[in-house]
Structure 1
């Protein structure tokens, strides 16, 4: 299985990046920064639905069904890439196939952030079980369908690159700028983020200039 290379040596010293952070950053870097750097998170109807969905599937344990054993809330990690997280569901098939299934309350968007999270789960499972995991799936509660994902090299590279980017953000503690686009309409954190106020407004740019302009007090005559 070909996977992206990382630097050699010192991998265990990498700052751990959660799989959920990869999805947040892929959706909106600023949202990820607000959550990780400022410990900010606001619930709305969508996030509550997601929480309730995960409460149903995230009870640790395993169940058997015919030739498939199903694991729930399985902790996973990848030391070389500095990844850690929890798989909602992992199916262990009798033929040796391993299938991670990420559960989402909303609709599935092909090629979206959920694919990143599911692919990262597959990569972690490969590390833990020492066997290829070429496929994953995203279950959408909105349409009650399981959407298959091929964990190819393009997706794997995206996971590794996002992990590095999130790690840089954590080390610099620099909050990404707001985007102020259609993503903000359905974001529970839009109020605290203030995207429209902070993007490209002359007043905001002037405030930044005034804030960081060196102050030279005038000398008394």
Structure 2
């Protein structure tokens, strides 16, 4: 189903944030909360050139940085870190990430969403892109598969529903994700989790265990 033309478009980055943690997505894109930690500061330094909007030619490819993207069909807006145009005119999106590859598809979903935007904007199939990891200084090729395309469509729907509902999801049940998140102090996952556990325990406070009688 196409998005409501009067609805606010969703930022491309919201799909990556939701894939990482729905609560993070809500805090950033609904509550407008953001904070920096060592990872985000490193990422900002790593993005200085790609955020410049510079256009160049490298190895026979035209390279556009900070290219604005949109999809009317999906109701998405944002920008690509880098889009290289191959000699035949096919766009090749490249997303820059500060750290190493995540064990999940957070970054791949964001890149696939960029590919879908480029397909709509330019009118040609984008079958491949890459993630450049600053830590290893290597590119990782990402094939824009049918599975990734479907994941993008699904995440667009669930993110739109989340932002429209105004709800706040619980913290991620993954301590490693929480430790690396710049919103840890705002989110306070340990405190929120404790409140939920206390609430559950209070419901059974005065129950009698008949098996012990």
TM-score of the superposed pair, with normalisation by structure 2: 0.87
CA separation of 1:14 and 1:134: change in aligned 2, threshold 3 A: farther
CA separation of 1:99 and 1:165: change in aligned 2, threshold 3 A: same
* Structure 1 residue ranges (4+ consecutive) displaced by more than 4 angstroms after TM superposition: 204-207
Secondary structure, aligned partner of 1:133: coil
Contact 1:180 1:196 in 2 (8 A): no
1:142, distance to aligned residue in structure 2 (A): 0.5
* 2:182 equivalent in structure 1: 188
1:198 aligns with 2:192: yes
1:111, distance to aligned residue in structure 2 (A): 4.7
CA separation of 1:61 and 1:12: change in aligned 2, threshold 3 A: farther
Contact 1:11 1:81 in 2 (8 A): no
* 1:77 equivalent in structure 2: 70
1:107, distance to aligned residue in structure 2 (A): 0.5
Work out which of the residue numbers 28, 36, 39 in structure 2 matches 1:46.
39
1:198, distance to aligned residue in structure 2 (A): 1.4
What is the aligned-residue RMSD (CA, Å)?
A: 2.0
* 1:215 equivalent in structure 2: none
Work out which of the residue numbers 86, 90, 100 in structure 2 matches 1:97.
90
**How far, CA to CA, are the matches of 2:164 and 2:5 in structure 1?**
16
1:65, distance to aligned residue in structure 2 (A): 2.3
Secondary structure, aligned partner of 1:47: helix
TM-score of the superposed pair, with normalisation by structure 1: 0.84
Aligned residues: 201
* Unpaired stretches in structure 2, ≥5 consecutive residues: 203-213
1:1-221 matches, within 5 Å, as 7=1, 12-109=5-102, 111-181=104-174, 182-199=176-193, 201-204=196-199
